[in-house]
């Protein structure tokens, strides 16, 4: 049979050309979208990469594991421009720093903050300086910071040592601190709570979140409370914070001198937002719990292999925690687990801890490839 080429498009009766509605507007970035709720004015130069508006994804397999009619969603902030939730805070911190005339910014980082600070500072025409703990930053994050133009200084010690350094630098030198001690960081990060409510139509019953420096749990609570005060939500969620067992100062009741965990983004022994986080936990009647590295890795693999969602290991602490305390979840509840960063931030961990490995050394012959495939 010979197929004749078409000389003209086929005729379709009653066909219509669909054009976008004139009232559909592109996402403007979180500052413009939530301007009435943020400390900005007409004089604030907005520095944006159109961050925010990240998806709230239902996760049916995890919902099934919890059972009791519980609906679980993940807030996947790994789809922000630099791949983590830190972009939410950085658009605010850098915009306000630019408004104040800053020429340089500085941060301590386990990786994600450095990437976000470098990207937004570069966008604003500022010099970004980053202090990291030598050997404890995932390569994907370090690569971002370097390519964005950050001047990266690796020190002997851990994140807590790096944070001490940058606080003193910002006090004594003309650089603006953009860690979460900067109040504008949490103002930006609170918008994730707004987005959760905007999608669900109300606050969830539980909000499960990884806890490292404890800024994000504080910011989410701030956002839920603010929306509640404006009548945008009828209830407030129970805030459930999860730390890695080897870096769990909230469980110990005191700072951890030598925190250790493969979840490098939450490898922090002395959280800067200690009091705010405890306040959020207490006010919401929530809890702090610890999850082991093994539990984190299992949740990390479940998210990828069962739900098709690739997050960095620290992000999976929220899901690991939920699964650990699932018996406490009331029936028919709505639960949101926060996934703070993209899996591509830490490709080494993905390859090392995947149960699937590359089948190498196979000849390019159909029979041999079919045999390897099990056919």
Q: What is the pLDDT of residues 92-105, one digit of tens each?
A: 999 999 999 999 99
244 pLDDT band, cuts 50/70/90, is very high
22 pLDDT band, cuts 50/70/90, is low
- The helix/strand/coil state of 210 is strand
Contact 179, 185 (CB under 8 A): yes
pTM, to two decimals:
0.91
Average pLDDT of 225-245? 98
Average pLDDT of 207-221? 96
* CA atoms of 305 and 290, how far apart (whole Å): 24
* CA atoms of 194 and 214, how far apart (whole Å): 19
24 pLDDT band, cuts 50/70/90, is confident
Contact 216, 338 (CB under 8 A): yes
Q: Tell me: pLDDT of 183 over 50.
A: yes
Looking at every residue in the chain, the average pLDDT score rounds to 93
* The predicted structure's pLDDT at residue 18: 55
Contact 228, 236 (CB under 8 A): yes
Q: What is the SS3 string spanning 126-163?
A: CEEEEEEECCCCCHHHHHHHHHHCCEEEEECCCHHHHH
Average pLDDT of 52-73? 98
Q: Tell me: pLDDT of 6 over 50.
A: no
* The predicted structure's pLDDT at residue 136: 79
């Amino acid at each position: 049979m010979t197929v004749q080429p078409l000389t003209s498009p086929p005729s379709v009766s009653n066909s219509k050309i669909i054009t976008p509605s004139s009232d559909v507007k592109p996402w403007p970035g979180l500052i413009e979208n939530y301007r009435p709720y943020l400390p900005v004015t007409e004089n604030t130069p907005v520095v944006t990469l159109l961050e925010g508006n990240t998806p709230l994804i239902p996760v049916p397999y995890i919902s099934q594991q919890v059972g009791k009619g519980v609906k679980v969603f993940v807030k996947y902030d790994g789809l922000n421009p630099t791949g983590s939730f830190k972009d939410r805070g950085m658009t605010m911190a850098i915009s306000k720093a630019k408004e104040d005339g800053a020429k340089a910014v500085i941060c301590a980082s386990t990786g994600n903050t450095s990437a976000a600070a470098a990207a937004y500072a570069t966008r604003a025409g500022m010099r970004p300086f980053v202090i990291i703990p030598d050997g404890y930053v995932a390569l994907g994050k370090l690569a971002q910071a370097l390519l964005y133009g950050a001047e990266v200084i690796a020190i002997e010690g851990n994140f807590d040592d790096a944070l001490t350094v940058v606080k003193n630098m910002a006090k004594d030198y003309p650089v603006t601190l953009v860690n979460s001690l900067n109040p504008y960081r949490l103002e930006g990060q609170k918008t994730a709570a707004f987005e959760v409510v905007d999608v669900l139509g109300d606050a969830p019953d539980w909000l499960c979140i990884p806890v490292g420096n404890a800024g994000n749990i504080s910011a989410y609570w701030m956002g839920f409370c603010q929306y509640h005060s404006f009548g945008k939500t009828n209830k407030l969620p129970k805030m459930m914070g999860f730390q890695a067992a080897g870096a769990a100062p909230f469980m110990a009741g005191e700072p951890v001198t030598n925190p250790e965990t493969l979840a490098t983004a939450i490898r922090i022994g002395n959280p800067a937002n200690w009091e705010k986080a405890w306040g959020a936990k207490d006010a919401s009647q929530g809890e702090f719990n610890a999850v082991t590295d093994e539990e984190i890795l299992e949740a990390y693999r479940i998210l990828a292999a069962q739900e098709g969602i690739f997050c960095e290991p620290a992000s999976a602490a929220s899901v690991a925690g939920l699964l650990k305390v699932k018996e406490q979840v009331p029936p028919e509840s709505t639960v949101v687990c926060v996934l703070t960063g993209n899996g591509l931030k830490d490709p080494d961990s993905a390859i090392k801890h995947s149960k699937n490995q590359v089948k190498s050394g196979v000849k390019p012959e159909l029979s041999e490839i079919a045999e390897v495939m099990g056919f």
